[in-house]
Amino acid sequence: MLKLGVNIDHVATVREARYRGRGFGEPDPVAAARIAEAAGAHGITAHLREDRRHIQDRDVWQLREVVKTRLNLEMANAPEIVEIAEKLKPEIVCIVPERRLEVTTEGGLDVIAAEKALTETRQRMSDAGIEVSLFIAPDEKQIQASARTGAQFIELHTGTFAEHFDDEAKRAVELKRLVTGAQLAHSLGLKVNAGHGLNYANLATLFQVPHLVELNIGHSLVSRAVFVGMETAVKEMLALMKNYRG
């Protein structure tokens, strides 16, 4: 069964637009997490960025108290955040690149360039009982480097696939890269997640990619929830995901 991890970052984005720095406000991402879990989500994802632009420290500690499924902390490989992760003990961390000027995470990690540092962080997480996923493009060398770090998972960056979804030729190229990448990762013993830009329209096409364990989806769910509520948005996504055959 393909699992759904609900990313609640952009619930916090809306809150911070009005209540930034005030220690309270609405909408509450922790409340959104509760609703998503009750609707059937298999996990909750939150990205504690170094600049704290949306999710705040208090959010992740409250999430740790209330999440009953699987807490996935997205994070940069930065000393401060690594230390928080060790104390927080989410079930899994997903290490992503961070660039201060980006609106949301764009592109995958350069695991080859940072292999030593990522391996060290993976070991620290393993020592704390936390699984590790690396957010990468579907590139053969990056996948091979990810396996060498000892990470249990990779999360394939589907942003390019989503960006070119309406261009049949470009979509086909990116879909082939994702299929090949998932096959290689699986052969190397890596579990395969995917995320970025996934929505109700492009999900069925993505299902050509084999070996997927979990999809991490945020923006499209939060956008849909504005109109129908988080419970319905999650249930609609889960209904689509039942069609995945792996």
Give the Cα separation of 225 and 58 in Å (integer).
23
Q: Which of 42, 54, 157, 196 is catalytic?
A: 196
Q: How many CA atoms lie within 13 A of 141 on its CB side?
A: 6
* Residue 164 annotated as catalytic: no
Element of type H or E holding 190:
none
Q: Which of 47, 98, 131, 214 is catalytic?
A: 47
**DSSP track, 129-189:** T-EEEEEE-S-HHHHHHHHHHT-SEEEEE-HHHHHTTTSHHHHHHHHHHHHHHHHHHHHTT
Q: Which of 16, 37, 74, 131 is catalytic?
A: 74
Give the Cα separation of 112 and 129 in Å (integer).
25
Residue with the two structure tokens 């705040």: 56
Alpha carbon of residue 111 to chain centroid: 17
In sequence order, what are the residues at sequence separation of 6 or more whose Cβ sits closer than 8 angstroms to the Cβ of residue 11? 27, 28, 29, 32, 222
* Residue 47 annotated as catalytic: yes
Give the Cα separation of 231 and 238 in Å (integer).
11
Torsion on CA atoms 194, 183, 134, 90, rounded to nearest 10 = 70
Angle between helical axes of 9-19 and 219-228 (0-180°, round to 10): 70
Give the Cα separation of 96 and 109 in Å (integer).
6
Residues catalogued as catalytic:
47, 74, 196
